[in-house]
Structure 1
Amino acid sequence: MKFLTPQFDYLRTHRESRRNISVLLRYVGIVSATVLLYSGLFHVLMLHEGQEHSLLTGLYWTLTVMSTLGFGDITFHTDLGRVFSLVVLLSGIVMLLIVLPFAFIRFFYAPWLEAQLHLRAPRHVPSGLKSHVIFCRYDEVAAGLIERLRDSAIPYCVIEPDPSVAAALHGDGVSVVTGDLDNRETYDAVACGAARLVIANRNDAENSNIALIVHEHYPAVPIAAFAEEVDSVDVLELSGATHVLPLKQRLGEYLAGRASVGPAHAQPVGRFKNLRIVEFPVENTGLSGRTIRDTRLRELTGLNIVACWERGHLLPARAGTVLTDHSVLVAVGTSDQIAELDALFVIYNPNENPVLVIGGGKVGQAAMAFFRRVGVAISVIERDPELRPTLAGLADNVVIGDASHRSVIMKAGLETAPTVVLTTNDDAWNIFLAVYCRRLNPSTRIVSRITHERSLEAIHRAGADSVLSYATLGVKSLLAYVQGSEATFVGEGVDLFIVPVPASLTGLTLGGARIGEIYGLNVVALQHPDGSAENVMASTELAENTELVMLGTAEQRKKFRAEFG
């Protein structure tokens, strides 16, 4: 009874529920009036036939005929009476067996279930919650970041305006509160004043409204807002957002940064303290066919080669690893050491043919703008002819057509392109294009965008050398902002994380610990108690109270934690 009372209160107070119940009651009134009318006519026709029955009998006969039970114990003997019986029977089939169940489900049972869902959706966070992250929508970025916040023991909450969706998320174990995003009471219910960060991850207009409300009532709370359009960045900042993320713009720039263009050079992907993390493509450097030991890069520059990308797989850097044209070295060192690395390979002649961009949407346009800033020639393929004027201002060669047609893709210059950048938002299409481009030009570098993380393995098998998704970019950017660090984009599915040196490994050398060999993790640096970072090599001793800075996947991290806690 205690559980039913709130549901009846909801049905009574909710305007839509009141309307539904009113419609159902009106229909029940029509059915009742029809039953009484037929009962009266029953008595009239029975008297006409010389039969007399009680009022209860008339009601009994009407209901048994309308419900098609028809016991047959009371019948008419004239044609007029039989016609009346048919009318009662047919109208009963329609009113009681068809319309009434539908009306009951539509106007009572469905609202009843909705009331249950509404009541299951939490209306506020637990009292005392603080230093939490507030999301304004549960999407792929939120789901990925929540997983990492849990690993770091950082509380969070999602605001969901639809109580039904909120109830479903609550059932899935997501910390959620239902409420309107334009209502201050909602932000009070999620303890916004004590929050670490509010993430406005809806469309630009809604994000602007969220930023205005939060900034006005909780001016000390930081706001990170997503911007779909570059022009919206200023508007969001004026609305009160302290950190604006134009993710599609950044995704295009990241993909462009992974292209093989110009002289061979290191591509920055992150920073830890005084150490920079870079990627260095082996193609066109003369290193292909050599082992990492034979390259003598550490001896010549002081850089530490910590890992090696090989067609989508991040492998620990071992002295005997043989490099190929598709290898990409991951190195750690100071700015001066990286400058020395670039100086070693400036003499090699690059492939100066135009880069091929497939897809002229927002991500593709951002990639082309990046190439244009660094003076790289561009060829683009786009299906939509209406985008030609916009693309003509960014690319040297605009080809309108379907990239799956050989004549179109060859006209765009695939045969000589040093890099192909796939920017469409369709994973299946990008996978197809990766296979197609790899088959037509086996030596080109393929950089691709994906939408879903589940497509990662497939697109690497298809031939893509470097991959990043919109969700991963958002997750890493926001996590770095939450933690007050610099985002590291080594690759899709690979994260930078810090763990204390396990007691069982204290005193061993890095080579003796065999972390890369056993767990597949790549040690980037060693952090000392004073906060300084040390570049490591195999002979580095793992001292007590120091921390390992490592690159690896979630699975590799779980394997390491399962062993050492």
Structure 2
Amino acid sequence: MKFMIGQLAYLLKQPLHRENLGRLSRLMLILFAMIVLFTILFHVLMVREGQQHSWMSGLYWTLVTMSTLGFGDITFHSDLGRAFTIVVLLTGIFMLLIVIPFAFIRFFYAPWMEAQLKLRAPRSIPADVSGHIVICANDAISTDLRERLQLAHVRHYVLEADPTVAAHMHGDGIPVITGDPQVAATWHAVGITRARAVVTNLSDAVNTNVVLTVRHLAPKVDIIATAEHEDSVDLLQLSGATHVLPIKHRLGEQLANRVNAGHAEVHTLGQYRHLVIGEFPVHQTPLVGRTLRDLALRRRLGVSIVGVWERGRFEPARPDHVLTATSVPVVIGTPEQIMSLNELLVIYDTNYEPLLVIGGGKVGCAAAAALRARGLTVHIIEEDSALVAKLKESADRVILGSAADRDILREAGLDRAPAVILTTNDDSINIYLTVYCRRLNPELRIVSRITHETNLEAVHRAGADFVLSYSSLGAESVFSILQDRSLMMFGAGIELFEVSVPEQLAGKTLAESEIGARSGVNVIAVQQDGEIHPNPAPDTRLPARGELLVVGTHEQRTRFAREFA
């Protein structure tokens, strides 16, 4: 009953719904007036025929005739009376079978169902909830971030201003709260003073308003804001944001960090405790064709190889693994050990020809700037003439034209380039260009951006060596801040995470635990009493209070949590 009263109150508060209810009421009054008029005319015509009936009989005849039931117990005998009957019958068909049902559905039933749907989504969180994360919009970053938070058992809520959309999200099992993030009442409803952090992932202008609102209500809460434009970083920080993430700029830098040009070196992925995790391509080095056992990096330098990238597949480090021209070993070691590995690799010259960046948007511009900061020559292909003047500051040469044109690619130096970075925001175009570039230059290293994670396998099948998505980078950037650790990006679809040794596995060896066989993840390090043991051997015993550093896909991580919960 309380819920029905709430629905009626919602309907009456909406001007359009009040107007629709008024229209329905007027139609019902017209129908009532018709019934009264037909009842009076019935008596007049019956008197002309010499028949006497009560007023109740007149009302009964009118309703029976208009509803097309037509029992036939009261009838007219004259042509005038029968013509009147036809008029009443047609009026009843039009009003009761067409107009009134349509008006009822349009003006009452549909708004009623809409109100029921909109009131279904929650409008506040329980009063005893604290330490939660509030996400301001349900976008691609939010979807990836929610998966990470759920696996980490962190309470979180997504704000949605549209009650209908919020109701559908609630039905899909998404923890959603209906409310506009620019309104203070919404933040009171989500317990902002008890929250752990706020993630505002809207447009730069809206983010600024949200940051100011939240900072006024909760001076101590952490605010993580995304920035579309790099110029907005300072504005958001001045507004009160704790962390500002220019995701597209960082995406360009991450893509640039994955190319091999100039001399060979380790590309740093991130830092775990006091150890550095990095990767290095073996293309055009004497390491091609050798096994990991032959390299003996742990014995020579103290560096451990924890896995190998093979065209988008992350494979565990096995001693008999043979390195190919497309292999990219992932290593872990101290900064000094990584520097020693760089000194070993620097003697191998790879290719000093200009690098090629396709697409001159925010991501492409950031990638080109990062490459030039390393002293590399960069050529950009851009088909929008309006961007050419701006791009001349970020690249050594800008070629105006379509990358689908072979002559344009040759003019840009594709046949001699060591690598190409695909930065368009259209996955179909990136897949097409990957196939095209791979056909024109089989030795080329192709680094591509994707927008949708569902296209990850397609881009790898097309021939890309490394792929990174906007959503995974954004989600991992936010999640690393929430976990108070440095950002570490392995690539799209691959996550690095730290878990405690499950009780059921304590004391068992890594081989006996069957972690890889049962979940598919790869344990790259074991931590015990503050000491880290990278690339553990199969006979390594898992400590009862230790930590595991694990690499795997989201599905594998979910399977690990399910198998060893």
Superposed pair shares fold, TM > 0.5: yes
The amino acid that maps onto 2:150 is: R
Change (3 A) 1:90 1:504: closer
Q: Deviations over 1:141-181 (max 9, x none)?
A: 22222222122221112222222222222222222221222
d(CA) in 2 for partners of 1:76 and 1:301? Answer: 115
What residue number does 2:120 align with?
A: 120
**Alignment check: 8 A CA contact 2:355 2:418 kept:** yes
Q: Which moved more, 1:537-546 or 1:67-76?
A: 67-76
**Alignment check: 8 A CA contact 1:316 1:521 kept:** no
Change (3 A) 1:508 1:180: closer
Change (3 A) 1:63 1:368: farther
d(CA) in 1 for partners of 2:52 and 2:393? Answer: 95
Change (3 A) 1:366 1:57: farther
Change (3 A) 1:501 1:2: closer
Taking structure 1 as the reference length, the TM-score comes to 0.90
What residue number does 2:188 align with?
A: 188
What residue number does 1:259 align with?
A: 259
Q: Deviations over 1:357-396 (max 9, x none)?
A: 2222221222122122223222222332322222233233
d(CA) in 1 for partners of 2:380 and 2:479? Answer: 33
What residue number does 2:367 align with?
A: 367
**Is 1:445 equivalent to 2:451 in the alignment?**
no
Q: Deviations over 1:324-353 (max 9, x none)?
A: 111111000111111111111222223222
Root mean square deviation, CA, Å: 2.9
d(CA) in 1 for partners of 2:34 and 2:399? Answer: 71
The amino acid that maps onto 1:364 is: G
d(CA) in 2 for partners of 1:346 and 1:394? Answer: 26
Q: How many residues align?
A: 563
SS class of match (2:221): coil
**Alignment check: 8 A CA contact 1:309 1:328 kept:** yes
Instruction: Give the alignment of 1:508-527 within 5 angstroms.
Output: 520-527=520-527
- Displacement of 1:187 after TM fit? 1.0
d(CA) in 1 for partners of 2:379 and 2:365? Answer: 12
d(CA) in 2 for partners of 1:338 and 1:475? Answer: 28
Q: Which moved more, 1:120-129 or 1:403-412?
A: 403-412
SS class of match (1:339): helix
Q: Deviations over 1:58-115 (max 9, x none)?
A: 6566666666667787468658984x77776666655544443332222211111122
Change (3 A) 1:296 1:19: same
d(CA) in 2 for partners of 1:137 and 1:389? Answer: 35
Q: Deviations over 1:439-478 (max 9, x none)?
A: 2211111111112222111111111111111111111111
- Displacement of 1:119 after TM fit? 2.3
**Is 1:409 equivalent to 2:403 in the alignment?**
no
What residue number does 1:499 align with?
A: 499
- Displacement of 1:507 after TM fit? 5.6
The amino acid that maps onto 2:532 is: A
Structure 2, unmatched stretches of 5+, are none
d(CA) in 2 for partners of 1:96 and 1:359? Answer: 63
d(CA) in 2 for partners of 1:447 and 1:543? Answer: 39
Q: Which moved more, 1:161-170 or 1:44-53?
A: 44-53
**Alignment check: 8 A CA contact 1:382 1:402 kept:** yes
d(CA) in 2 for partners of 1:235 and 1:244? Answer: 10
What residue number does 1:179 align with?
A: 179
Change (3 A) 1:507 1:81: closer
Change (3 A) 1:63 1:515: closer
**Is 1:241 equivalent to 2:250 in the alignment?**
no
What residue number does 1:145 align with?
A: 145
d(CA) in 2 for partners of 1:253 and 1:68? Answer: 76
The amino acid that maps onto 2:217 is: H
SS class of match (2:263): coil
Change (3 A) 1:70 1:205: farther
The amino acid that maps onto 2:549 is: V
SS class of match (1:225): strand
What residue number does 1:28 align with?
A: 28
**Alignment check: 8 A CA contact 2:192 2:217 kept:** no
d(CA) in 1 for partners of 2:393 and 2:515? Answer: 50
d(CA) in 1 for partners of 2:518 and 2:2? Answer: 57
Q: Which moved more, 1:322-331 or 1:486-495?
A: 486-495
**Is 1:533 equivalent to 2:529 in the alignment?**
no
Q: Deviations over 1:229-270 (max 9, x none)?
A: 111111111111110111111111111111122211111111
The amino acid that maps onto 1:556 is: Q
d(CA) in 1 for partners of 2:333 and 2:412? Answer: 39
**Alignment check: 8 A CA contact 2:124 2:189 kept:** yes
The amino acid that maps onto 1:297 is: L
Instruction: Give the alignment of 1:310-459 within 5 angstroms.
Output: 310-459=310-459
SS class of match (1:281): coil
SS class of match (1:350): strand
**Alignment check: 8 A CA contact 2:197 2:224 kept:** yes
What residue number does 2:547 align with?
A: 547
**Alignment check: 8 A CA contact 1:223 1:242 kept:** yes
Change (3 A) 1:44 1:316: same
What residue number does 2:294 align with?
A: 294
d(CA) in 2 for partners of 1:447 and 1:111? Answer: 51
Identity %: 51
**Alignment check: 8 A CA contact 1:46 1:76 kept:** no
